[in-house]
Amino acid sequence: MILTVTLNAALDVTYQVPALIPHASHRVTEVAERPGGKGLNVARVLAALGHETTVTGFAGGPTGDVVRELLAPLPVRDALVPIAGTTRRTLAVVDAATGDTTQLNEPGPEVTPAEWAAFLGRYEELLPGTGAVALCGSLPPGVHVGAYAELIRRARTAGVPVLLDTSGEPLRRGVAARPELIKPNAEELARLTGAREPLLASHDARRRGARAVVASLGPDGLLAVTPDGVWRAAPPRPVAGNPTGAGDSAVAGLLSGLVMDLPWPERLVRAVALSAATVLAPAAGEFAAEAYRRLCAEVTVEETPAAA
Amino acid sequence: MILTVTLNAALDVTYQVPALIPHASHRVTEVAERPGGKGLNVARVLAALGHETTVTGFAGGPTGDVVRELLAPLPVRDALVPIAGTTRRTLAVVDAATGDTTQLNEPGPEVTPAEWAAFLGRYEELLPGTGAVALCGSLPPGVHVGAYAELIRRARTAGVPVLLDTSGEPLRRGVAARPELIKPNAEELARLTGAREPLLASHDARRRGARAVVASLGPDGLLAVTPDGVWRAAPPRPVAGNPTGAGDSAVAGLLSGLVMDLPWPERLVRAVALSAATVLAPAAGEFAAEAYRRLCAEVTVEETPAAA
């Protein structure tokens, strides 16, 4: 079983409008809702790949109820912990003509110390049956900034590898707790290390505690700096579409390869192909299954000298 | 008892952002929710004025539950009819620096014929104890365009006067069913009658069936064309603030004066003062009680020759 943790889960709401004009009034032509937050996105892709997947984190209030209702029909086990606060909404306003998106993210509910303790209890119960853990996204108000570091230490004690996908101070503290893998983008990596060059910065992040670093370089694909070598993986050609969720699909590909103990180049092919197939899918955060299969044969992986 | 009907009730959500920039990502700094839709706004003001007030219309789904929870502590009787669909949200995104608002309105749930029939049953039950009815706002999908006309005819049969506050075809059909009073703005009045001059257009609307017409002229106040005479009422000076809900407060003032059988000039004073006190209140849709009392002494009312 793969466990994904989404401490700041969300109800993703998408509005279609003809065009967003500040200070005007708009009639929304279409409303869509789905469970959101990086860990829930990762879980959905893992389940579609056939992995037994469990989600945990927090859910509360009317929006939390909607998230759980929308999760129920998916092949994902819901182990979210109830809270008194209300799960946030994240709103994407899509201009129908251009496809351009304006994002409005609510901050999330205040989590109490008792709720955090209840979550740690649930997490400890789940770890023994878990092949890998993904810790994903931002922390809600009330959760201490070293939360991911604490979760990594507990997983290490249980012998479970952790993929950490977050940013800022929670990433910095998490890296020091020695996760198996981090998946920053170039910007997050530069903020963590002070180095703007991704290869240099990835080596630096390894020295800070990450066993492996997979940096996402946007349309240029992935750079993996690992104990086994350094690789660059890229799609065969640029893909145009909606990049929402592409990073989460890459995380799912890396986790899938990790629990199957695939060699690094195969893990990277999976991650890049899923990511590109997500950009190509018409619905945000879904992946185009046919495109994924085709891209798996087309992604290029090059080994590069490890020295930096 | 005063009855307000909100067929397309809403959960009003307000987001504070530093500035809304199309196609950028925004962290929402503050989220507020309140029951919305014109009839619910009118009811809240009527209750604050001390009138026994009942709200009906439709509510459903998780947002409908939130609307009802937020109504529960208010001194308003909830006679909303449950539906299978989900009550819409209306989102106001406020630029914190300037106070400018961008509005995004969901279309509302599909109402089935059985749900409309259930509503008519509830409406008929409520009419006998009702001193006046306000029919407010847009129609949700599935409700026939002559719905307000039907509700006006049923109220007339029960001897209950109706204030109609809507626009477009539902207004046109509603006027033909001879309501006691309509409260269009200049734009709605021009669309109804084809006449751009408010006095001419108001006379025309009376010929079409409205017993009285109170046209809202924005910062210039109200124009009332009634069987008893023609008046113009205006605030003593321009008021600056958030105009959200100002029209609904004017409706509440007119209803309050109607059930108390006040002379027209006093009804108009009440409506203009409440409207201005709503613009002055810090929270959208609330009215500043102190300002209301002060403005009641300051609103000017002038009788004008009835001929047009």
DSSP chain A: -EEEEETT-EEEEEEEES---TTSEEE--EEEEEEESHHHHHHHHHHHTT--EEEEEEEEHHHHHHHHHHHTTSSSEE-PEEESS--EEEEEEEETTT--EEEEE---PPPPHHHHHHHHHHHHHHGGG-SEEEEESPPPTTS-TTHHHHHHHHHHHTT--EEEE--HHHHHHHHHT--SEE--BHHHHHHHHS--SHHHHHHHHHHHT-SEEEEE-GGG-EEEEETTEEEEEE-SS---S--TTHHHHHHHHHHHHHHTT--HHHHHHHHHHHHHHHHHSSSTT---HHHHHHHHTT-EEEEE----
Indicate which CATH number applies to the domain containing A82. 3.40.1190.20
Which has the closest alpha carbon to A37: A58, A21, A61? A58
Q: Kindly indicate the confidence band of residue B244, based on its pLDDT and cuts at 50, 70 and 90.
A: confident
The average pLDDT across B87-116 equals 93
Q: Does the residue B241 lie in any domain? A: yes
* Amino acid in position B102: T
Average pLDDT score over chain B: 95
Alpha carbon distance B28, B93 (integer Å)? 9
Q: Does the residue B101 lie in any domain? A: no
Q: Kindly indicate the confidence band of residue A307, based on its pLDDT and cuts at 50, 70 and 90.
A: low
Whether residue B273 contacts residue B49, with contact meaning beta carbons closer than 8 Å, is answered with no
Has residue A308 got a pLDDT over 60?
Answer: no
Q: Kindly indicate the confidence band of residue A306, based on its pLDDT and cuts at 50, 70 and 90.
A: low
Which residues of B, range 27-46, sit inside 8 Å of A by Cβ? 27-29, 31
Task: Determine the distance in angstroms separating the CA of B190 from the nearest CA of chain A, rounded to an integer.
Answer: 20
Phi, psi of B4 (to 5 degrees): -110, 140
Angle at A268 between CA A263 and CA A273, to 5 degrees: 135
H or E, element range at A62: helix A61-71
Q: Kindly indicate the confidence band of residue B283, based on its pLDDT and cuts at 50, 70 and 90.
A: confident
* Block residue for tokens 């709200």: B55
Q: Which residues of A touch B22 (CB under 8 A)?
A: 20-22, 95, 100, 102
When mean pLDDT is compared across A6-15, A92-101, B102-111, B216-225, the lowest value belongs to A92-101
Alpha carbon distance A240, A234 (integer Å)? 14
Alpha carbon distance A23, B94 (integer Å)? 9
- Alpha-carbon dihedral angle through residues A21, A26, A31, A35, given to the nearest 10 degrees: 50
Q: Give the strand pairing for A212-216 and A181-182.
A: parallel
Has residue B230 got a pLDDT over 70?
Answer: yes
Position B132 scores a pLDDT of 98
Percent helix / strand / coil, chain B, rounded to 5: 40, 25, 35
Alpha carbon distance B212, B85 (integer Å)? 36
The average pLDDT across B68-78 equals 96
The average pLDDT across B225-235 equals 97
Q: Quick check: B102 and A29 CB within 8 A? A: no
Q: Does the residue B286 lie in any domain? A: yes
Has residue A83 got a pLDDT over 90?
Answer: yes
Q: Does the residue B152 lie in any domain? A: yes
Position B100 scores a pLDDT of 87
- Alpha-carbon dihedral angle through residues A26, A30, A36, A40, given to the nearest 10 degrees: -170
Q: Does the residue B104 lie in any domain? A: no
Residue of B nearest to A67 (CA): B62
Has residue B307 got a pLDDT over 60?
Answer: no
Whether residue A34 contacts residue A70, with contact meaning beta carbons closer than 8 Å, is answered with yes
Position B243 scores a pLDDT of 81
Of chain B, the percentage scoring pLDDT greater than 90 comes to 89
Q: Which of B11, B26, B28, B139 to mutate to test the interface with A (most CBs of A within 10 A)?
A: B28
Task: Determine the distance in angstroms separating the CA of A131 from the nearest CA of chain B, rounded to an integer.
Answer: 34
Residue A138 per-residue DSSP state: P
Nearest by CB: A62 against B23, B65, B100:
B65
Average pLDDT score over chain A: 95
Q: Does the residue B21 lie in any domain? A: no
Q: Quick check: A106 and B31 CB within 8 A? A: yes
Query: Which tens digits make up the pLDDT trace of B251-280?
Result: 999 999 999 999 999 999 999 999 999 999
Distance of alpha carbon A202 from its chain centroid, rounded?
Answer: 19
Alpha carbon distance A206, A216 (integer Å)? 16
Q: Quick check: A24 and B102 CB within 8 A? A: yes
Alpha carbon distance A268, A250 (integer Å)? 8
Handedness of CA A60, A143, A285, A15 (dihedral sign): positive
Full domain range(s) for residue A135: 2-304
Q: Which residues of B touch A29 (CB under 8 A)?
A: 107
Query: Which tens digits make up the pLDDT trace of A40-81?
Result: 999 999 999 999 999 999 999 999 999 999 999 999 999 999
Alpha carbon distance B221, B299 (integer Å)? 9
Tokens read off for A34: 């789905």
Q: How many domains does chain A have?
A: 1
Residue of A nearest to B28 (CA): A106
Q: How far is CA A301 from CA A217, A230, A267, A270, A275, in A?
A: 14, 10, 10, 11, 15
Q: Which residues of A touch B92 (CB under 8 A)?
A: none
Which residues of B, range 62-91, sit inside 8 Å of A by Cβ? 62-63, 65-66, 91
Whether residue A274 contacts residue A289, with contact meaning beta carbons closer than 8 Å, is answered with no
Residues 6+ apart with CB under 8 A from B237: none
Answer whether B26 touches A (CB < 8 Å).
Answer: yes
* Block residue for tokens 């001059």: B197
Give the residue numbers of A annotated as catalytic, written as ranges: 248
Alpha carbon distance A111, B246 (integer Å)? 37
Position A144 scores a pLDDT of 96
Residue B29 per-residue DSSP state: -
CB atoms under 10 Å from CB of A240, counted, come to 10
- ipTM, two decimals, is 0.84
Q: Kindly indicate the confidence band of residue A218, based on its pLDDT and cuts at 50, 70 and 90.
A: confident
Alpha carbon distance B232, A9 (integer Å)? 54
Nearest by CB: A102 against B24, B29, B95:
B24
Residue A260 per-residue DSSP state: T
Query: Which tens digits make up the pLDDT trace of B111-167?
Result: 999 999 999 999 999 999 999 999 999 999 999 999 999 999 999 999 999 999 999
Alpha carbon distance A201, A233 (integer Å)? 17
H or E, element range at B163: strand B162-165
How many A/B residue pairs have CB atoms within 8 Å? 75
Instruction: List residues bridging with A93 in a β-sheet.
Output: A15, A102
Query: Which tens digits make up the pLDDT trace of B40-49?
Result: 999 999 999 9
Alpha carbon distance A287, A42 (integer Å)? 11
Position B160 scores a pLDDT of 98
Enumerate the H helices of B91-196 as residue ranges: 113-126, 147-157, 168-176, 186-193
If DSSP codes are grouped into helix, strand and coil, which group holds residue B271?
Answer: helix
Alpha carbon distance B105, B12 (integer Å)? 9
Q: Does the residue B177 lie in any domain? A: yes
Q: Quick check: A20 and B22 CB within 8 A? A: yes
The average pLDDT across B32-46 equals 95
Q: Which residues of B touch A101 (CB under 8 A)?
A: 23
Q: Does the residue B195 lie in any domain? A: yes
Q: Kindly indicate the confidence band of residue A281, based on its pLDDT and cuts at 50, 70 and 90.
A: confident
Has residue B308 got a pLDDT over 60?
Answer: no
Tokens read off for B28: 């929402």
The average pLDDT across A224-244 equals 92
